[in-house]
Amino acid sequence: MRDGSCRATRISSARSLSRWGTTSWHTPNRCFGTPLDSGRHTHHREKYAVSDRDFALDLAYACAVLGIHLSRLGEDIVLWASAEFGFVTLADEISTGSSLMPQKKNPDVAELLRGRAARSLGSLVALATTLKGLPLAYDRDLQEDKTALFATVDNTFDCLEAAAILVEHLEFDRQRLAAAAGDPSMLATDAAEELVRGGTAFRKAHQEVAGQVREGTFATSFNAKSSVAGRELVGGPNQLRVAARARVVRREANALRRWGQTRPTPLHER
């Protein structure tokens, strides 16, 4: 009976493995005969205790995702600073002059945020590749997790510091932004939605407004400011919604800061 029960447990564990992608077998100690010590210092999954690096993968993944977000922020700023957009002016603290063109400023920090994301992604792939071929036991290969993990954490802190400096020194051209937002075609969707609220099917409303845009006869009675003010759904650009979300983010940041102040001083800072 015990052998049959253990076999069923292992089959169930294998199914969980394929379903959830975990790197460890969920095999209870009792399947190996005498139960192991269940004290507080004994891991409840023996193979998990020696072969698991999920915690390292989780941290590397978090760093990679954060790197991707910062990379996209950098790309936005590179576009906004271009002559085609002209939405932001780069301060000297976050840019360098061109070695050829006297009038040009290079968005160095924004571009480096894009490039540094590749390091975090590379560390995640390196760690996952190291783990994927190992048996469920300790192997010397696992010492290579330090190289990938320490590198991606250091890189993430560098990128966060650079991103803070970048955002702090951005100078927005409000007139250029207002002119772009004032383009009447930006309100075409609002016009179609207004027709829908009046009882017109969206397909017909879409065709009608699209025809007006093509013919150059499109006009609407509202502007970008009123359009934004009317978008009051959660996550929308309405000013009150944005302000409320900003307050939540500040509270969360302050809570994390207080939590960090109660933690032990890192070894490298002692």
Q: What's the CATH fold of domain 53-181?
A: Fumarase C; Chain A, domain 2 (1.20.200)
pLDDT band, very low/low/confident/very high, at 28 (cuts 50, 70, 90) = very low
The SS3 assignment for 63 reads: helix
User: What's the first-to-final CA gap in the chain, in angstroms?
Assistant: 57
Of 121 and 258, the structure prediction assigns the larger pLDDT to 121
Considering only 58-62, 212-216, 261-265, which range has the smallest mean pLDDT?
Answer: 261-265
Q: What is the overall mean pLDDT for the chain?
A: 81
Both tokens assigned to 91: 């301060």
Per-residue pLDDT tens digits for 138-157: 888 888 889 999 999 999 99
CA distances from 221 to 178, 181, 184, 237, 238 (A): 18, 15, 10, 20, 19
Tokens of 21: 């992608």
Range 16-20 contact pairs with CB under 8 angstroms and sequence separation of 24 or more: none
Q: Greater confidence, 18 or 50?
A: 50
Q: How far apart are CA 130 and CA 51, in angstroms?
A: 12
Rounded to whole angstroms, the Cα distance separating 203 from 209 reads 10
Q: Where are the domains of the chain?
A: 1-51, 53-181, 182-227, 231-262
Tokens describing residue 107: 């968005």
**pLDDT-derived band at 265, boundaries 50, 70, 90:** low
User: What are residue 170's DSSP bridge partners?
Assistant: 90
Q: For residue 155, what are its two tokens?
A: 């890189």
Listed ranges 32-41, 91-100, 145-154; the one with the highest mean pLDDT: 145-154
Question: What is the percentage of the chain residues whose pLDDT exceeds 90?
Answer: 44
User: Does 203 score more than 80 pLDDT?
Assistant: yes
Q: What is the pLDDT of residue 263?
A: 72
Give yes or no for a contact between 63 and 156, defined as CB atoms under 8 angstroms apart. Answer: yes
CB neighbours of 187 closer than 8 A, spacing ≥ 6? Answer: 220, 222, 223, 224, 227
pLDDT tens-digit readout, 241-252: 889 999 999 999
Selected residue with higher pLDDT from 166 and 54:
166
The residue-averaged pLDDT of 74-85 equals 94
The widest CA-to-CA distance across the chain, in whole angstroms, is 83
pTM (2 d.p.): 0.72
195 versus 24: which is more confidently predicted? 195
Residue 29 pLDDT: 38
CA distance 222 to 176: 20
pLDDT for position 45: 62
| pLDDT value, residue 162 | 94
